[in-house]
A and B are shown apart, each in its own frame.
Chain A
Amino acid sequence: MSLAALTPDTDIALWLNQQTEKSLLRFLTCGSVDDGKSTLIGRLLYDSQLILDDQLASLKKESHNRTVGDEGIDFSLLVDGLTAEREQGITIDVAYRFFSTDKRKFIVADTPGHEQYTRNMATGASNAELALVLIDARKGVLTQTRRHSFILSLIGVKHVVLVVNKIDLVDYDEAIFDRIVAEYRAFAEPLGFSTLAAVPVSALRGDNILAKSGRTPWFDGVPLVPYLETIQVAEDRTLGKMRFPVQWVNRPNLDFRGFSGTVASGVVKVGDEVLIASSRRPAVVKSIVTMDGELSQAVAGQAVTLVLDREVDISRGDMLTHAGETPEFSNQFQARVVWMSEEPAYPGRSYLLKLGTQLVPATITDLKFRTNVNTLEQTAATKVDLNEVATVTIATDKPIAFDAYTSNALTGGFILVDRISNATLGAGRIDFGLRRAQNLTYQNFDVNRDVRSQMKGQQAKIVWFTGLSGSGKSSIANLLEKRLTAEGRHAYILDGDNVRHGLNKDLGFTEAARVENIRRVAEVARLMADAGLIVLVSFISPFEKERRLAREIAGDIDFVEVYVDTPLEVCESRDPKGLYKRARAGEIKNFTGIDSPFEPPTTPELVLHGAENEPAVLAEHLHGWLKI
């Protein structure tokens, strides 16, 4: 693997041409822990003379007290770049490394074998065309070998090389190699890889890496590197249906409006009629703009800006396609997900789904089954745990444009994100859309308060504020609502103002009318909480009996009574609406605190002292106490 001869006499343009003509292969290493994946990549880098003198010197120093080959180097140190990895001798996260031979360029993702870090293996696989599945010749096919192979097939890696490593430790035994290969082939059969080759290697000693090893005369296949240099994997994405996900609206001034994005598949030409997936509205491509000048066409993989011939409503997340070749546009589909979080996935939970440039709230509506990675058997399940694969149906809050993953990974692969921590929880591939989703939605699945609350990422409840007029109920409720809204929660305030003017405008201030007022407000609060909202009720509600009524109406809904305890003198001195003054003057009758009693709650969930702290402090305290 010498470097292309480059002398001062070589024509640089010619040389560069040779370099750019080289094709690129993206591959990953995977398999069980300690099978020698990192060692193999280190070996490849070393053998392709990519390790420069200064790096080699420090490497030799570091390899002291470690398993080394004839070169005196622990090759895994070349890739295990994190301190924790070196200390523990394992790979934790993917390393992306680059090397090239005279024939090809390679981007390799070295992934961890440890089960805990399976999500990082999936990360490495998602952009790879080929996988090296490593096996320790002494151990054979293990659970993690199977899990990784299954994930490869899900993610759509079609080419696999089974690398039976550490062949030096089993005396280069042909029978062991054959047995492992046969066992793996039998397991992998249903996974449907397009190509599956096998090679016996010693990553540490370099057997069958660059050239055939004299120590395995029985091996009649191709050594690893020559195989990687020649295998044909490229799929021509320009042949697919045209998909242009709009990423960014390009609007430098009033005269220019373009849609920037990367062609996901197919070819788009000037003059093409395109359809907007969401609205099905047509438009014609007027020009394809780049800084290097206008193009007549753009092909899969190119990042361009399209200008259309008419004003149409298009924003980020929309997809442009050709008529007659439109993607699915629906709010329900079946998919397979790989779960990547300690917190299991449950049906009914709400997540954020990102597919291409589209981001929407989504719910797992049905968990059809889980697949056992060892046997590929499908079993019923009520949740999906870390590193498990499950088949689910998903409903999105609004329709999205997509294709089946098998026809287009870029428009059929998605991630699920936690609505509160924003962590990436899982990845999925769409198998097919469920047509007429409206009719099929929630077939196996009751829509209830829990489901509705979870879609909003919260727990429904009623927070009932009681206290004198001017005690600070509304200020606190307002601040709390703002805070909750800022956090992405859905809250709503019911108070005298928005209820008395509409729903209860027929009610006066008699004893009976006051009870009816409270009853109606409590019923509305219950309905709203049942819809999944956090309802903040801000009513003087001076009588214990009324408050008990409200609590009874709430039933099994979480009901929190908050007593804003502010002394009458303070309320009266504040008198924000001038009501106390008017009551004292006798203009208002039955005014609480003046000529009508306030019965302090005997068992409120929380008391806030309105005279001692600012409303902001009290709202903050309440927010913390509620633990929403």
Chain B
Amino acid sequence: MTSGSLTHLQSLEAESIEILREVAASFERPVMMYSIGKDSSVLLHLARKAFFPSKIPFPLLHVNTTWKFREMIAFRDAMAEKHGFDLISHTNPEGLANGINPFDHGSSRFTDIMKTQALRQALDAGRYDAAIGGARRDEEKSRAKERIFSHRNASHAWDPKNQRPELWRVFNTRLNPGESMRVFPISNWTELDVWTYIYSEGIELPSLYYAKSRPVVDRQGTLIMVDDERFRLEPGEQPRQEVVRFRTLGDYPLTGAIRSDAATLPGIIMEMQASRTSEREGRLIDSDSVGSMEKKKQEGYF
């Protein structure tokens, strides 16, 4: 810091830390969503910084659909062990009992039951009054509209037409009984900011982000990795090895891989700069229809 003022990444980091501390200071039962992806990894790193030398003063919540890449779960447990945070994993018990899966029930029903409903169950069970998430405004058009401290009514619904004004860094954190807040500390980060921060801070990520030879099948132009024996192959279909990586991580049958040989962070950053498609393209759930994210958010999805 030669000039005495902060670089862009340093300001973003400081802003996020301030938001995380505001949550810890203003709410009784905060929780941080931990989805194991790159944004969650950045969030975890920021939370460790925000409260150092104290431990992160709230638990991390993972909503496990049971269809995550196997490596994600191993990575999650290793991180909890290494950084000593409280990890809560929740799976929708009815969904599990009914064997809800992306093959038989379709992506939108599966997502609704195993993600949205599961999340609501976990938030209700924990009586959390604030849930911190890693969403960014540059991800999607309705996210670009959301406040950093985003109010939810007693049924977890977002009212996009009636958001609280949010001036300067003065956040209105007040709630009535039953209401809650979703808080997005990295709202103002772009995908490039996230990658450059990961690079400059040396943040660990699941290796799925890096190119490697993996068994995939082609489904209408989307490359899906066959991560375990539950995957339903079409008659005669054979997974073939391809060098691929993922731009975003989620449920493996619903997450498209891209052909790439970027096996390092600089390689990824370079490839991203040249890319002409958005990161969410790989997420099968968003492409359903315009306004689908807003609708999901109104129902309580992150």
A binding-site residues for B, Cβ under 8 Å: 3-4, 6-8, 10, 12, 16, 19-22, 24, 52-55, 58, 62, 78-84, 86, 92-98, 105, 107, 119-120, 122-123, 126-127, 234, 236-238, 247-248, 250-252, 256, 258, 260-262, 267, 289-292, 299-303, 305, 316, 340, 352, 354-357, 409-410, 413-415, 417, 421-424, 427
* B174–A417 CB distance below 8 A: yes
* B277–A301 CB distance below 8 A: no
Interface centre among A83, A126, A237, A300 (most CB of B within 10 A): A83
Contacts A262-B14, A422-B174 given; indicate if A92 touches B168 (C-beta within 8 A): no
Note all chain A residues with C-beta closer than 8 A to B13. 303
Note all chain B residues with C-beta closer than 8 A to A22. 8
With CB as the reference atom, state the residue of chain A lying closest to B262.
Answer: A8
Interface centre among B17, B144, B200 (most CB of A within 10 A): B144
* B144–A96 CB distance below 8 A: yes
* B25–A248 CB distance below 8 A: yes
Among candidates A96, A262, A300, residue contacting B137 with C-beta atoms closer than 8 Å: A96
Among candidates B51, B52, B172, B187, residue contacting A422 with C-beta atoms closer than 8 Å: B172
Q: How far is the CB of B272 from chain A (nearest CB, A)?
A: 10
Among candidates B25, B165, B172, B190, residue contacting A354 with C-beta atoms closer than 8 Å: B172
With CB as the reference atom, state the residue of chain A lying closest to B140.
Answer: A81
B1-35 to A contact mask, C-beta < 8 Å, 1/0: 10011111111011001100110110000000000
Tell me, yes or no, whether B169 is within 8 Å of chain A by CB.
yes
A410 vs B143: C-alpha distance in the bound complex, in angstroms? 26
Q: How far is the CB of B225 from chain A (nearest CB, A)?
A: 21
Among candidates B161, B265, B278, residue contacting A93 with C-beta atoms closer than 8 Å: B161
Tell me, yes or no, whether B291 is within 8 Å of chain A by CB.
yes
A264 vs B55: C-alpha distance in the bound complex, in angstroms? 25
A258 vs B8: C-alpha distance in the bound complex, in angstroms? 26
* B174–A98 CB distance below 8 A: no
A340 vs B165: C-alpha distance in the bound complex, in angstroms? 8
B157-193 to A contact mask, C-beta < 8 Å, 1/0: 0001101111111101011100000000001101010
Given contacts A20-B196, A122-B165, A252-B55, 14 further A-B contacts (CB under 8 A): A6-B270, A12-B269, A19-B8, A81-B294, A95-B145, A98-B138, A107-B188, A123-B165, A250-B51, A262-B17, A291-B52, A414-B170, A424-B166, A424-B172
Note all chain B residues with C-beta closer than 8 A to A84. 160-161
Note all chain A residues with C-beta closer than 8 A to B204. none
Q: How far is the CB of B112 from chain A (nearest CB, A)?
A: 18
A373 vs B134: C-alpha distance in the bound complex, in angstroms? 40
List 28 interface pairs A-B (beta carbons < 8 Å), by A numbering: A3-B274, A6-B274, A8-B267, A12-B199, A20-B7, A53-B276, A62-B290, A78-B141, A81-B141, A82-B142, A84-B160, A93-B161, A95-B141, A237-B5, A248-B25, A251-B54, A252-B53, A258-B53, A267-B4, A290-B49, A299-B1, A303-B13, A303-B21, A340-B165, A354-B172, A413-B168, A415-B170, A415-B172
Q: How far is the CB of B195 from chain A (nearest CB, A)?
A: 10
Note all chain B residues with C-beta closer than 8 A to A20. 7-9, 196
* B5–A93 CB distance below 8 A: no
B243-283 to A contact mask, C-beta < 8 Å, 1/0: 00000000000000000000001110110011111100100
Note all chain B residues with C-beta closer than 8 A to A86. 290-291
Q: How far is the CB of A351 from chain B (nearest CB, A)?
A: 11
A238 vs B4: C-alpha distance in the bound complex, in angstroms? 7
Q: How far is the CB of B117 from chain A (nearest CB, A)?
A: 22
Among candidates A238, A305, A415, residue contacting B5 with C-beta atoms closer than 8 Å: A238
A357 vs B51: C-alpha distance in the bound complex, in angstroms? 17
* B167–A122 CB distance below 8 A: yes
Contacts A16-B199, A53-B277, A291-B49 given; indicate if A97 touches B166 (C-beta within 8 A): no
* A98–B190 CB distance below 8 A: yes
Note all chain A residues with C-beta closer than 8 A to B90. none
Tell me, yes or no, whether B50 is within 8 Å of chain A by CB.
yes
With CB as the reference atom, state the residue of chain B lying closest to A126.
Answer: B167
B99-130 to A contact mask, C-beta < 8 Å, 1/0: 00000000000000000000000000000000
Total count of chain B residues near the partner, CB < 8 A:
70
* B145–A81 CB distance below 8 A: yes
Note all chain A residues with C-beta closer than 8 A to B277. 52-54
Among candidates B168, B172, B278, B290, residue contacting A409 with C-beta atoms closer than 8 Å: B168
The 4 residue pairs across chains A and B that have the minimum distance between CB atoms: A81-B141, A12-B266, A422-B174, A291-B52
* B4–A54 CB distance below 8 A: no
Q: How far is the CB of B95 from chain A (nearest CB, A)?
A: 28
* A248–B4 CB distance below 8 A: no
Note all chain B residues with C-beta closer than 8 A to A16. 196, 199-200, 269
Q: How far is the CB of A307 from chain B (nearest CB, A)?
A: 10
Q: How far is the CB of B183 from chain A (nearest CB, A)?
A: 15
Note all chain B residues with C-beta closer than 8 A to A421. 176
A55 vs B138: C-alpha distance in the bound complex, in angstroms? 13
Note all chain A residues with C-beta closer than 8 A to B274. 3, 6
B45-70 to A contact mask, C-beta < 8 Å, 1/0: 00011111111000000000000000
Note all chain A residues with C-beta closer than 8 A to B190. 98
A24 vs B9: C-alpha distance in the bound complex, in angstroms? 11
* B145–A93 CB distance below 8 A: yes
Note all chain B residues with C-beta closer than 8 A to A82. 142, 145, 160-161, 291, 294
A301 vs B4: C-alpha distance in the bound complex, in angstroms? 10
Note all chain B residues with C-beta closer than 8 A to A414. 170
Among candidates B6, B9, B137, B265, residue contacting A301 with C-beta atoms closer than 8 Å: B6
With CB as the reference atom, state the residue of chain B lying closest to A50.
Answer: B138
* A83–B273 CB distance below 8 A: no
Q: How far is the CB of A355 from chain B (nearest CB, A)?
A: 7
* B8–A105 CB distance below 8 A: yes
Contacts A299-B5, A303-B18 given; indicate if A289 touches B53 (C-beta within 8 A): yes
Note all chain A residues with C-beta closer than 8 A to B167. 122-123, 126, 413, 415, 427
With CB as the reference atom, state the residue of chain A lying closest to B291.
Answer: A83
Note all chain A residues with C-beta closer than 8 A to B138. 97-98
Q: How far is the CB of A234 from chain B (nearest CB, A)?
A: 8
Contacts A81-B144, A81-B294 given; indicate if A252 touches B54 (C-beta within 8 A): yes
Q: How far is the CB of B157 from chain A (nearest CB, A)?
A: 14
A598 vs B102: C-alpha distance in the bound complex, in angstroms? 73
* B53–A250 CB distance below 8 A: yes
Among candidates A78, A96, A417, A422, residue contacting B188 with C-beta atoms closer than 8 Å: A96
Note all chain B residues with C-beta closer than 8 A to A105. 8
Q: How far is the CB of B285 from chain A (nearest CB, A)?
A: 15
* B169–A19 CB distance below 8 A: no
Note all chain A residues with C-beta closer than 8 A to B18. 247, 262, 303
* A302–B14 CB distance below 8 A: yes
Interface centre among B17, B170, B190, B275 (most CB of A within 10 A): B170
Contacts A81-B142, A81-B294 given; indicate if A302 touches B175 (C-beta within 8 A): no
* B145–A94 CB distance below 8 A: yes
Note all chain B residues with C-beta closer than 8 A to A19. 8, 192, 196
Q: How far is the CB of B145 from chain A (nearest CB, A)?
A: 5
Note all chain A residues with C-beta closer than 8 A to B196. 16, 19-20
Q: How far is the CB of B46 from chain A (nearest CB, A)?
A: 10
With CB as the reference atom, state the residue of chain A lying closest to B280.
Answer: A54
Interface centre among A107, A123, A234 (most CB of B within 10 A): A123
Contacts A250-B51, A415-B170 given; indicate if A301 touches B5 (C-beta within 8 A): yes
With CB as the reference atom, state the residue of chain B lying closest to A302.
Answer: B14
Among candidates B1, B4, B165, residue contacting A236 with C-beta atoms closer than 8 Å: B4
Q: How far is the CB of B152 from chain A (nearest CB, A)?
A: 13
* B163–A93 CB distance below 8 A: yes
* B6–A299 CB distance below 8 A: yes
Among candidates B168, B199, B291, residue contacting A410 with C-beta atoms closer than 8 Å: B168
Contacts A252-B55, A303-B17 given; indicate if A92 touches B161 (C-beta within 8 A): yes
A354 vs B168: C-alpha distance in the bound complex, in angstroms? 12
Interface centre among A93, A123, A301, A303 (most CB of B within 10 A): A303
A81 vs B200: C-alpha distance in the bound complex, in angstroms? 32
* B168–A126 CB distance below 8 A: yes
Note all chain A residues with C-beta closer than 8 A to B169. 262, 410
Q: How far is the CB of A191 from chain B (nearest CB, A)?
A: 19
